[in-house]
Structure 1
Amino acid sequence: MNKKHVAAYAAVAAMFGIMGALVAVNKKDPPPLTTVMAPTGGKPHTAVDKLYSQSLNDLAGAPQPLAKWRGKPLVVNFWATWCAPCVEEMPELSELAGHDNGNSFNVIGIGIDSPSNMNEFAAKLKIAYPLYVGGMGGTELSRDFGNKAGGLPYTVLIGADGQVIKTYLGKLKFDELRADLAKLKS
């Protein structure tokens, strides 16, 4: 190889390096995938009925009927301790739940994880909303709400009437969630 070829290869390599850096700098997180479920003529969605018929253990191991959340808008967050975006969004979700104190909506978390992992995690962070152990059954429950791939985090916004208002796959955009919650108040 002569010096001309080396210089040409170096120039091409430098150009690709600059292009890669520009792409990395301008890369934005993809927006979460949101879905609006079809209305059911005022009746609760089947997935909501299934959710409210469940009894899941809290972190102390006591079974808790989820029907107690019926009648007020509910944010249901499916998460796991090993899911980085789940862990990243939990402090802000906790702040949102704590700020409202259940006055106009409630937030619950259903962990797709083991009770020991969830307890260890909860001991480190102060979460202002109830956490329930869903295990692998929680994955099936999230699939009932349209999460066909079983991806996490997966969040479901349920109206007071049992209608699924919206689902969010991926890390929450809290401006969007706050706007959706504000629409429920009006």
Structure 2
Amino acid sequence: MHTGNGQTVKKISINELENYIKQSRKPLVINFWATFCKPCLEEIPLMLELARTSPNVELIMVSLDMADYYPDKLEKFVSQQQFQPAVQYWLNETNADFFCPKVDSAWQGSLPATLFINPQKQYRQFVDKPMRQEEIRLSFLSLDATAN
């Protein structure tokens, strides 16, 4: 629960993120975003709203902001926006040619980008464009339906 002390944003590498996905026992929504991305900021509240009503699904927000934003500016921004219940990470990678294909072979680095995945059921959906509320809702429902 948010205590008013601010939300922590942890540093993560793409290999650590891959391992997190592989070890997860629950469905994940991994949203790649940045503070400078207006469509990202419009989409995030919709993601958070669905995460709050989907207890089986873990929402992970991965910031692709520049290194000078981490951690101070990023943690301040995340706390002001009240991004809970999402887990917050900052991707400690600079080579998009390296990390993008590890997320999805079709990803060219556009933001926002969201990976809906249930590792236990081999369910995977990748969206590399802004999503409307109904698209997000249906993706959460599809993911949650695979959670059994």
TM-score under structure 2 length normalisation: 0.70
- Measure how far apart 1:124 and its partner are: 1.6
Distance 1:138 1:98 in 2: 33
Matched, 1:59 2:15: no
Output one character per residue of 1:71-119: Cα deviation in whole Å (capped at 9) or x when no partner: 111110011111111111111111111222xx22111011111313311
2:114 aligned residue: 155
- Measure how far apart 1:60 and its partner are: 5.0
- Given the superposition, is the C-alpha separation of residues 62 and 82 from structure 1 closer, same or farther in structure 2, using an over 3 Å criterion? closer
What are the residue-to-residue correspondences of 1:1-186 with 2, within 5 Å?
A: 59=8, 61=10, 66=17, 67=20, 70-100=24-54, 103-113=55-65, 114-115=69-70, 116-128=72-84, 129-137=86-94, 139=96, 140-144=98-102, 145-161=104-120, 163-184=122-143, 185=145
- Given the superposition, is the C-alpha separation of residues 61 and 156 from structure 1 closer, same or farther in structure 2, using an over 3 Å criterion? closer
Distance 1:89 1:138 in 2: 25
Partners of 2:113 and 2:128 within 8 A in 1: yes
Q: Which has the larger radius of gyration?
A: 1
Task: State the number of aligned residues.
Answer: 127
Q: Percent identity?
A: 25
Q: SS of the counterpart of 1:136?
A: coil
Distance 1:109 1:119 in 2: 12
1:21 aligned residue: none
Q: What residue identity is the alignment partner of 2:78?
A: A
Distance 1:160 1:107 in 2: 14
Higher helix share: 1
- Measure how far apart 1:137 and its partner are: 4.8
- Given the superposition, is the C-alpha separation of residues 138 and 179 from structure 1 closer, same or farther in structure 2, using an over 3 Å criterion? farther
Partners of 2:47 and 2:136 within 8 A in 1: no
Unmatched segments (≥5 aa) in structure 2? 1-6
Higher relative contact order (Cα pairs below 8 Å, separated by 6+ residues) = 2
